Amino acid sequence: MTVCTGNICRSPMAEIVLRARFEAAGLGDEVFVDSSGVSDEEHGHGVDRRARAVLAEHGYPTGDGHRARQVVASDLTSHDLVLAMTSAHARALRRLGGDDRVRMYRSFDPAAPTDGPEHLLDVDDPWYGDRSGFETCLAEIESAADAIVAHVRSFV
């Protein structure tokens, strides 16, 4: 499960990319991927229109049918891996009862920093910016996706 703030930009983008990568790796029927947000402010909303546009331009599905939802404590025990988009999300998940299942999404990115504080692995929120923020967000998501697939393959 991927987790961001409102579950309309980063986490559904990551869910869509990961689902495509698991499918390409032959694991589509074995791995369940979903997403949620730490906030309920976007509850029931679809994927942000700018995120949809960037996903479509890069050949991904656009998240038709996605409805934002807030993470609940049972999500942390029903998922083998919970991928936080920022260190603030990771802290919220850990307070909710998360354990070693909570990891920073970009901790799987081979180009990401390996030393230093956890916030250096944040995927910045594109919602407040222009289109370039969504492009950057997708690039960071894609950069970590293959290593996430390899990690999950080790316990599927």
Q: 29 exposed, middle or buried (CB, 10 Å; 0-12, 13-18, 19+)? A: exposed
CA distance 67 to 12: 9
Residue in 4, 48, 52, 122 annotated catalytic: 4
Q: Please identify which residue in the block is written with the tokens 């479509």.
A: 56
- Three-class DSSP category at 79: coil
Whether 99 is catalytic is no
Whether 10 is catalytic is yes
Whether 4 is catalytic is yes
Residue in 9, 10, 50, 103 annotated catalytic: 10
Residue in 67, 124, 125, 146 annotated catalytic: 125
Looking at the annotation, which residues are catalytic?
4, 10, 125
